Amino acid sequence: MSNTALSASSPPPIAEAAEHLRAGRLVGFPTETVYGLGGDATSDRAVARIFDAKERPRFNPLIIHLPDLEAARKLVEFTPEARRLADLFWPGPLTLVLPRRADCRVSLLASAGLDTLAVRVPGHPLAQALLRAFARPIATPSANRSGRVSPTLAEHVRSELGDRVALVLDGGPCRVGIESTVLDLSRELPTLLRPGGVAQEALEGVLGPIASAPNVEDSIARPSPGMLASHYAPSIPVRLEALAPTPDEAWLGFGAVPPGIRAPDLQLSESGDPIEAAARLFAALRSLDRPPFTRIAVMPIPEAGLGAAINDRLRRAAAPRPGA
Ligand code: AMP
Ligand code: MG
């Protein structure tokens, strides 16, 4: 497979990049903020590969990139204020967090099981060309390994991710060079989750005062009442490292089931593949979170690769919850 960052002077291989995305592979591409690592947002598998390629220790939600407002409206519920911001700042470095529509086709893994989705319309011509050629939403975090700085040149993407990307579209240096501003409009008060390419003052000029989340990763990762969307964790308890289920437990499998133990109600991955397991994780938790089950028992999952992120999520789901 070619892992080429083509020079900015040759015509950009947009069709080839879209073909890679269609095949579930990952593509590096420029946006006006930083270079992104794109995958088919409607494919659990492609989204799991993004987390794997970045070596993310946990499943934090990804920004879904779209060609225009029309495409975004198919995925999330727009409020009048969201509409005004989109009209003013899109295409551009502004990400809006809005409630997922019931018929939203985006992978649950891409929003880490949340019932909100972060959407953005980038203005970079290559990003626009790719989004239109692919004609599906593209899940796109920055194209760096976890914990490293965001790439602003195609060469950075290649040195960060090597052959984990099928192709890198080279658009030269990114204009803005810092990430998009992330504004959460799904809460009671508009809340700034991450400062970025659109200034807070510019948003306040439209909305009036907006709140800031004291610590974004914290407020997303740890549900605090009224702050977080529901469906982040199952409503029934979760038991980890289970070697056998009790009769009233849902039995979530990973790899081969020990002899004499009943077959799992659902398998994350029969072959013990963490990428496959990650792809199925959120849908599996949702589907087992129902009567007659009173708890979900999960077979042990080794920490290797995406196993660490899967266990991180399961541990949070298993932790005692206030009021529960
Ligand atoms: P990156 O993956 O580096 O582009 O960062 C994406 C940012 O958007 C992170 O700060 C995420 O936590 C935030 N984000 C994405 N989706 C959501 C969501 N549904 N709710 C809250 N924050 C989100
Ligand atoms: Mg990043």
Query: Any idea what the CATH number is for the domain that residue 18 is in?
Result: 3.90.870.10
Question: Would residue 132 count as lying in a domain?
Answer: yes
Rounded to two decimals, what is the model's pTM?
0.88
Q: Which atom of ligand 1 is nearest to the CA of 117?
A: 19
Instruction: Using the predicted structure, report yes or no on whether residue 290 has a pLDDT greater than 60.
Output: yes
DSSP symbol at 188: S
**Of all residues in the chain, what percent are helix, strand and coil, respectively (each to 5)?**
30, 15, 50
Please compute, for residue 80, the number of CA atoms within 13 A of its CA located in the half-sphere on the CB side: 1
Q: Are residues 143 and 263 in the same domain?
A: no
Q: Are residues 112 and 247 in the same domain?
A: no
Instruction: With beta carbons less than 8 A apart as the criterion, state whether 31 and 169 touch.
Output: no
Mutate which of 51, 194, 212, 222 for ligand 1 pocket (most atoms within 8 A of beta carbon): 194
The total domain count for the chain is: 2
Angle at 183 between CA 178 and CA 187, to 5 degrees: 160
Task: Give residue 218's pLDDT.
Answer: 47
**Domain extent for 257:** 238-318
Q: Are residues 256 and 163 in the same domain?
A: no
Phi, psi dihedrals of residue 85, rounded to the nearest 5°: -65, -40
CA 42/CA 105 separation, integer angstroms: 6
Question: Would residue 184 count as lying in a domain?
Answer: yes
Of residues 8 and 282, more confidence is placed in 282
Average pLDDT over residues 281-296: 94
Q: Is the CB of 194 under 6 A from ligand 1?
A: yes
Q: Is the CB of 151 under 6 A from ligand 1?
A: no
Question: Would residue 219 count as lying in a domain?
Answer: no
Task: Give residue 177's pLDDT.
Answer: 85
**287: CB partners within 8 A, 6+ apart:** 266
Q: Is the CB of 117 under 6 A from ligand 1?
A: yes
Q: Are residues 157 and 297 in the same domain?
A: no
Q: Is the CB of 97 under 6 A from ligand 1?
A: yes
Q: How far is the CA of 222 from the centre of ligand 2 (A)?
A: 19
Q: Is the CB of 197 under 6 A from ligand 1?
A: no
Q: Are residues 185 and 59 in the same domain?
A: yes
Question: Would residue 324 count as lying in a domain?
Answer: no
